[in-house]
Amino acid sequence: MKRVVITGMGALTPIGNNLKDYWQASINGVSGAAAITKFDTAKHKTQFACELKNIVPADFFEKGEARRYDLFTQYALIAVQEAVNDSGILLGEVNKDKIGVIWASGNGGISTFDEQMGEYFKGDETPRFNPFFMPKILVDMASGIIAMKHGLRGINYTAVSACASSNSAMMDAFNYIRWGKANAIITGGSEAPITPSAIGGFNACKALSLRNNSPGDASRPFDKSRDGFVMGEGSGAFIFEEYEHAKKRGAKIYAEVVGAGMSADAYHLTATHPEGLGAILGMTGALEDAQLNTDQIDYVNMHATSTPVGDISEIKALHSLFKDHLFKMNLSATKSLTGHLLGAAGAIEGIVAVLSLKNQVVTPTINTQEIDEAIPAGINLTLHQPQERKIDYVLSNTFGFGGHNASVIFKRFQ
């Protein structure tokens, strides 16, 4: 099968509006959490999130164009444009029939849905819906519009597996390219879930942190006092490209994609399996796909959302799979910085994984003060400070409501 490499990336995150700023903030351990500004939170139990900052998405589009796109699509287009520019791929000079888009989102146009239904329930005698209402809320619309903006006629669809969606999309992009079905695929994910219904809904299922008085340290993976995740928004984009295609055009290469695995917990509507059985299966599949032994993984970017059950089940899965080698690896939790971007989480965390390979440094887990006693002593959680080390392979995990698990392995390109 063909080799797949990463030749471009783009990031729009709560701690950085482009690739450079996002990486610098990640290394510096910056928290993106603060009081919600997008709506009045007086009726909500959780009143903070990791919002994008100092950016007006509509500024990136022609006059009136942004009205046709939900925020999750706008976020996608911004990150994708950076990735395309970063890759140096001249889309006017390549076969666009062989370039596709496999995008991810868990909630799609939920901000549009909230806005429009709010207007409906105001009680007007003849409620009016925006003519773009239905296209804007469709979860597949970002992938379609990315293709339209760039004239890409290859494989095109959206992967939805809740918070595992981005890794599911990346796995599919990886497979289609190595099977020879595409020369390149734009992949990644976007999410715009800081809305009254999303915050209220996740509050109702007791998933969100309630630390309204200290949002900056609310996302505290592995900490004894963790009480839920912090919502985030944004987008992460990759250009996955067939190696010979990239080599022929002299592209810079960040890393190689070498393995991916997916599985199901088959256990619970929202909770992960307490022993991490599905996670073990997904990670094992990725290792087998990459033809790697467990002792070859140097760093795991964990799903680690800062929920009481989820963090421990993932640690148990890692311990069961990696055994003694677990104590020789670095683990870190990107969500302590960015919050949880749901369907886009795997995309921005994949960017951190790839840049960790490139720069040979692991970004820190922040806010963790007292490690849960259920976590075995001696595990390196990369607390508070970045750590330089030799990194050849990174495993990136994502798990989602419904019991979805997806893991991707990136290799240092030399």
CA-based max dimension of the chain: 67
**Each residue's pLDDT tens digit, 162-216:** 999 999 999 999 999 999 999 999 999 999 999 999 999 999 999 999 999 999 9
Report the 10 Å Cβ neighbour count for 125.
4
CA distance 315 to 393: 19
Q: Is the pLDDT of residue 118 over 90?
A: no
Report d(CA 211, CA 46) in Å as an integer: 8
Tell me: pLDDT of 227 over 70. yes
> Residue 80's closest CA among 150, 3, 181?
150
Burial class (CB in 10 A: 0-12, 13-18, 19+), 335: buried
What is the reported pLDDT for 122? 78
What's the pLDDT tens digit per position in 286-338?
A: 999 999 999 999 999 999 999 999 999 999 999 999 999 999 999 999 999 99
50 is catalytic: no
Which pLDDT value is given to residue 93? 85
CA 169 to each of CA 1, 80, 264: distance values in angstroms, whole numbers, following the listed order:
19, 14, 16
Write out the E strands in 198-286. 234-242, 255-264
375: pLDDT strictly greater than 90 = yes
| Radius of gyration (C-alpha) of the chain in whole angstroms | 20
Strand partners, 257: 4, 410
Please tell me the CATH code under which domain 4-248 is placed. 3.40.47.10
| Span 377-390, average pLDDT | 98
**Residues 287, 292, 296: CA angle, nearest 5 degrees:** 110
Catalytic residue of the set 163, 245, 273, 404 = 163
Which of 150, 245, 303, 404 is labelled catalytic? 303
CATH architecture label of 259-412 = 3-Layer(aba) Sandwich (3.40)
> Residue 37 above 70 pLDDT?
yes
DSSP H/E element including 34? strand 34-35
pLDDT for residue 91: 85
Please tell me the distance from the alpha carbon of residue 180 to that of residue 40, in angstroms, as a whole number.
Answer: 50
Lowest-confidence region among 3-12, 18-27, 56-65, 240-249:
56-65
Distances (CA, A) of 225 to 213, 217, 307: 15, 11, 10
d(CA 77, CA 147): 10
Whether the pLDDT of residue 119 is over 90: the answer is: no
The answer to whether residue 86 scores a pLDDT higher than 90 is yes
| 249-261 residue pLDDT tens | 999 999 999 999 9
259-412 shares the fold of 4-248: yes
DSSP 119: H
Name the catalytic one among 150, 245, 273, 340: 340
Q: How far from the centroid of its chain's Cα atoms is residue 380's Cα? A: 23
Beta bridge partner(s), residue 371: 223
pLDDT at 124 over 90: no
Whole-angstrom distance, CA of residue 240 vs CA of residue 102: 10
Question: Which residues touch 257 (CB under 8 Å, ≥6 apart)?
Answer: 4, 5, 6, 170, 174, 240, 408, 409, 410, 411
Which neighbouring-strand residues pair with 103?
A: 158
Q: How far apart are CA 12 and CA 270, in angstroms?
A: 27
CA distance 166 to 187: 8
Cβ(349)–Cβ(241) below 8 Å: no
CA distance to 26, 82, 95, 101, 290, per residue, from 246 (Å)? 28, 18, 13, 17, 21
Encode pLDDT of 327-372 as tens digits: 999 999 999 999 999 999 999 999 999 999 999 999 999 999 999 9
pLDDT average, residue stretch 211-226 = 98
Domains in the chain: boundaries: 4-248, 259-412
Mean pLDDT of 96-100: 97
Question: Is the Cβ–Cβ distance between 336 and 311 less than 8 Å?
Answer: no
Report, as an integer, the average pLDDT of 99-112: 97
Asked if the model's pLDDT at residue 125 lies above 80, the reply is no
Average pLDDT over residues 122-139: 83
Cα separation of 405 and 397, whole Å?
8
Burial label, 311 (beta-carbon count in 10 A; 0-12, 13-18, 19+): buried
pLDDT at residue 127 above 80? no
Q: Which of 22-26, 69-73, 197-201, 270-274 has the weakest average pLDDT?
A: 270-274
Of the listed ranges 126-130, 216-220, 269-273, 360-364, the least confidently predicted one is: 126-130
For the chain, what is the mean pLDDT? 96
